[in-house]
Structure formats: structure tokens, C-alpha cells
Chains A and B, each alone.
Chain A
Amino acid sequence: MNLLLIVLFPFFGFMINGFMQLRSLKTGHKISSKQSGSIATFAMVLSFITAIYYFIQFSGQQEDGRLIEQNLFSWIKLGAFHVDFSLRLDSLSLLFTMIITGVGSLIHLYSIGYMKEDETPAKYFSYLNLFCFMMLNLVLGATMPHIFLGWEGVGLASYLLIGYWNQDTAKVGAGQKAFVMNRIGDLGFLIAMFIAYKYVGSLDLVDLQKATLSPKIASVVGLLVFFACTGKSAQIPLFTWLPDAMAGPTPVSALIHAATMVTSGIYLLTRISPLLLQAPDVLSVIAMVGVTTAFVSAVIACAQKDIKKILAYSTVSQLGFMFLACGVGAFDAGVFHVMTHAFFKALMFLGAGSVIHALHEEQNIFKMGGLSRKLPITTFTFVMGWAAILGLPPFSGFFSKDEIIIQSLHSQYGNQILFIMALASALLTAFYMTRLLVLVFFSPSRMEKETEEHAHESPLVMTLPLIALAILSLVGGFMHHSEGGHEEGQSIMIASVVVALIGAAFAFFRYRKFDKEEMTNQFVEKGLGIDVFYNKFFGNGVPLLAKGLSKWIEEYFIQNSMKFCTWMVEFSGSVLKSFQVGSMQVYLLMMVVFGLAFMIWILESVMQGVIFYGK
């Protein structure tokens, strides 16, 4: 077996589908989603099987034996700077690989049904495979530049897929927004890489983990990496792209913007966790940003009407929880929540996709209702996801989320503020998820007659992944051994379940008999004006700054210094020109004058003893 296989299968899928798409552009021959989708899904399944092989191999080994490294070729070689293109598999990357290939396979399968009516499914599936290829590079790369390659690659794939329906300029704009926001974060990644190289002398992750840096350097590197993560993982201040990214096809939202890509920030932080532990200040910043994001986006989610937007803000909120876990030093809990979240959030996105599919692209939850009779499987699986995100035992979210909430209080870096905000976010999460669930599936129908009649359960290719993910959401929590169990941990668990139930009950009784559209606060619904602020501040500020620079720096400073240079040349030329009169006798006079001056200088030197002449 070869580690490269995991990465190469999606790459081949990407190539095959890409070439098929190019050929169909030339010949006009249409490719069905079944053809291209089965190739892409097959590639992912093969990759998943390879990952399972390694999982079995690892589970038979001791903790410290779980490492496979494979050096492929020398990638960058510039004098003393040397980067190998090598893959490294350890427990952490194996977990992420399993999530990417496993959940990825299910979502590929689901896409076959979802993209049935699409014009260019080969293009879609090639992008999806490209994304998986890049994401696997991200988690398997052994060096920072390799991770950066994957980091940029998933950003590209995400951009392509958000703007997949490129006839609609708003969707293309959403893709551009995601790309630009990510680029801002990438700047942090790059600078962190440069600084790390300067002080560690290597970009290999193992060397970075072993390095001991001064607290100041560790803080700078940690903060810059965290800034990069706020871009990719949609945290304050760069989170605004994720809700807009819902413009892409729903399976894309499930795979990229819920299960995998947005969790790469957690992966990166966990990878360099030894560095972060050297800088406790950065940890507290991460925890604060994480919990604030969790709370703020949960508030915004409560006022959304679009089913996908709710799930998007919910994702941001859950990512905030993961960052909170990283920030209190409980990286394990964060990664565990990545896994469970991948299961239940992918499930909910796919469920939402199933609903949208059934209702012909209707996304407003106030124009749904009573779908539990029409879509029984979707409803059932969605309820499982709902229970998991609420953290009801024994669903997976219960284990991971409560672990984070416990750690936010009991960890070495935890404190009451983090704990209370985490609990408040959990309450809001329960509220908005129950609101979504009740309004879509259980309240009286508010649909138009025609849509209601056409609503039907999705085909098997779409319900199968739903069922698989529902099972995973149910049992996913038992894959991890919690160290909790002490008394206080138990009381916190009970408290958080009670809080979730209170939120759920409140939403349930409020929306059970809802039959009109809710008047939500426009300010909250539009994302607390953060987008407006960015538009006003950066959208107008940067051109203003540029204008100012062009006026003051360009016009006055650069142009004038250039003018000064030309003036200097002109002036010295005009001075020197006066010596070149073209008359031999003037030259002779000058020769005599300077010759005399030289002789006087020599004589003077001899007299003062500077030059010794003779004996």
C-alpha cells in the first residue's frame, strides 16, 4: 500500500472528469450526472478504502508507532532552504483523512441525485474531486509549504464551487468574496511561515513542534497562524464569507463549508499546538474569539429565514466552539468536535438539500412546514442531526460539545466567562435549530398548493448518505474516550443538556403553530451590520487611502525626488560644460593651473613630511 494512493485517487477522478467535460464542450455530447458522478464517487471510495487500510494498520500499533512518512521528491531547493514534497500520516491526519474521504464519498454519492438536472455535472464532479485532492494534501502534507499548497487549493476549489452556477452574478460575487476574505487570512499564514523559518530554521512540522521559541516570537507566529485560521475557518473578523458561500450547490456547502475545509483551521492549530502552548496569551485570544464567534453567529442564526443561512451561521457557531476548545488547550476536544460536527452538520446540510430539492429551490423556512409526512426519511435523519447538535445523550454532539463546555471551565486556561458564553451559545443553538426543525417539518404547512403537491421524498442515492450520516451522528460519540466522569463534569453535562432542552422547548412552543412569516430584526438578519461596516470601512477606505497615497506619496514625494535627480544631473552638466569651450588655449591654461596646484600640493606635502622624497 502506498500513502500516495489516498491523494491520487481523487486527483485521477478530477482529471478524468475534467477531460470528459472538455471533450463534451468540443463535441456537444452531454454527460449525465450518473456517469461522471459514479467515477468521482468511485475515486473517493477507493481513497476511503485506502484510509481504512491504514486505520486498521494503526489500531494494531502502539501510540508512538502510528506514523508513516513518505518522501516523494525534493520540491524546493534554494541554497540552504530545502523543502521536500513528503506525505506524513499520523493519528490526527488519519482522522481528518477518514472524515474527508468518508463523508466525502457520501456527499459525492448524494450529489449524483442532487445534480441530476444540471447541465455540466462533469465540471461539478471534477471540482469536487479537486477539492478532496487539495484537502488531502492539506492534512497529509509534512511541511508548512505543503499545507499552504492544500490551503490555497481548497480555497480555489471552494471559489469555483460557490460560483458554480456562474450565470448568476450574485453567486459569482459570493465566490469572490470567499476568495478575497481567505486571501486576507493567507497573508497571516505566509508571514507566520517566514517568521517560523527565520527562528526555527525549518518548515517541517515535526521541527516546528519540537522548537522552543521565545514567548514573543511564539505569540507572533501563533497569532498570525490564528489569523489565517479565522479566514479559512470563518471566525471573527473574517467570518462573513461563509453565509454568502451558501450560494453554491447544497452538497458543496455540506462538504466544504461544514465538514472539511472550514475545519482546516482547527487542524492547523492542533498541528502547531506545542508552539501555541508556549504562548498562553495567544491561547486566550483564540478562546475569546472562538466563544464570541460562537455566540454572535448563534444570535444571527436566530433571525435568519433561509434554511441554508441558518445552517451556515450554525456552522460558524460550531467552529467557534472548536476554536474555544483549542483556546483552552483542549485540542483533543476540538478535533473530536470536528469529527462529530462533520457527521451531523453534513447530515443537516444534505437534509436541507433534500428539502430544497423537493420544494424546487425554495429556501425560506416560512414557506415550508409539515414536511414530515412528505419526506419521512429526511425528517427522521434530520431529527437525528438536530439531537446531535443539541448535545442530547447519547448522540455524538453530546460527547464532543459537553467535553468542550467542561474544558472551558475546568481546563488550565478556562474561566467562567468562557463557560457562561459557551453555555449561552448552546442555549441559542438549541433555540434556532429547533425553530428550523419545527418550522420545516412539523408546523402547519405554509407552502403553495402546487409546490406541496409536487413535494416528494428524494431518490435512494440521496437518502442513503442521509441514513449513513444519521447512524454516524448517533454512534460517532463513542469513538472517543472521554476523560470526564468526575463529579463536576457530570453536573456540567446535566446543566448543558438542561439548557439545550430549555432552548428547544421555548422554540418548540413558539413555532409549533406558526402560520405566518415572522418579523425578524432586519439588523440581526443582515449579520449585525458587519458586512455593511466592512463595505463602508474597507470598501470606501481603501480607495480613499489609495487616492491619498497617489496624491501625496506619488505626486509630491516620488515625482519630486525624480525631478530633483534630473535637476542634479542637469546642474552638474551645466557646470562641467563651461570647462569644455573648445579652445585649445583655454585647455592649456587649465592644464597649467591644475598642474601648478598639484605641484604646490606635492611641495607642501614634502615640506610637512607627509611624503618622503629622497634620502
Chain B
Amino acid sequence: MSEKRAQIVCKALSLGYENQAVVEDLSFTVHSGDYLCIVGENGAGKTTLMRTLLGLIEPLSGEIVIGDGLRLNEIGYLPQQTEVQKDFPASVWEVVLSGCQARKGLRPFYNKEEKKLAEEMMQKMQIENFRGHCYRELSGGQQQRVLLARALCAARKILLLDEPVSGLDPKVTAQMYQLIKELNEEGITIIMISHDISAAVRYASHILHISDHIFFGTTEEYRNSKTGQFFLSMEGGAVDA
């Protein structure tokens, strides 16, 4: 672990909205190349934590230290789909290219390098054939690939994924997990929110379990912990994975 650089260090975080703490005393560290899964019940504060990491909301107390030459806005983000997107007229190309918006800055139009980057990411996600297609008419799995390509345009070091497989059928879910694993093997740090504890222990290197009792450690430690054993047995004995 020592040769890995710490990218995000959270110290005694207290999270929530308008002084109403959802999560208290949360500490964990993410190193480059980690695959961290954040699990926990609905309303436990997973999405709040993610929004805090992205700088969308301020932590109530505690601090987040960003290391490894990373800036807070260099985190690629795969949000959950919003209502607006369901009837938004946008082509796949327009969506992927919008991942370069931070690079573009105040320039009115995208330049050649940015367009090239968007092309590359579309090839990587195998969606280059859908270039002119309408985003809202794609299948759920294709839409997630488009959003992944966009996130990769924004950042190459670290990706935050918010429930990336929700609403996907089992086959596409497996493909999605495989894709995320491949990205992780290329050296991209993955932080993923998930409901699916059995998939989390299968793919992730670290687990952060948010509930009344907060657990943070490697997947191995999680399997052996009380929290982990309790929840894994509830999931139906996926410990053998």
C-alpha cells in the first residue's frame, strides 16, 4: 500500500443538509488504483457523501484532503439519470463532448483535441456507431456507456459512479461491472455507490459501509467483520464469490 498515493483523505466528516447531519464521524482514505464501493441502506447518506466529494455540497464539519496532484473538479462523475434527461433532445456526440466542458473553459467552441478525445472515449466505450443517435432513445446500458464516455472526457484519474447499474437487466449489469473493472485495471481509481453488496465484495478492493455503524476497510476485512457477515448472509450467502 505504501507505494500508492493517497488521492482522497476524509477526516472526521460530518455530512448532511442545513445542519441536519446524515452521517457523522466518517474517515477513510482512497489511494490511486483503488476500487472503493460505498454500500448502505437507502437514506444512510451514500449520495450525500458522493455529492460532498464532488464539492456540490459542503461538509458540516471535518475535512477532505485531495492529494496526488488531483483537483476537486478532476473527478469524473457518472450521476444517476435525471427526469430532465428522459425527454432531452441530445445526440450521443453532444453528450460525450460535454464532458470536455471544463477543458474548454470560456472558449465558445470545442477545439480539435477535445473533439479527438471525445472520439477516443466513444470508441473505448464502443458507442461510436451511435454518434448521431438520440440519447433518450438508447437502451439503459447504452445510455450508461454514453455517460461513462462523458465522465472519462472530464477526468482520467478517478471516477465516481452513482448506482451505475440501477435499472439495468442482469446481462447488461454484468457487462457494466466488467467494463468498470477494466477501467480500474487500467489504473483509474473507482468510487462506486451500490445497493448490491454481493457484487461489491466481488469487484471492489475496499468497502465503505454506511449505516448506524460505519465500516471502512479492504474487502477481505469486510468479509470477516461482523457488519459484513451480517449483510452478506442477508444477501443470500454470496460470500463464496
Do A and B actually bind? no
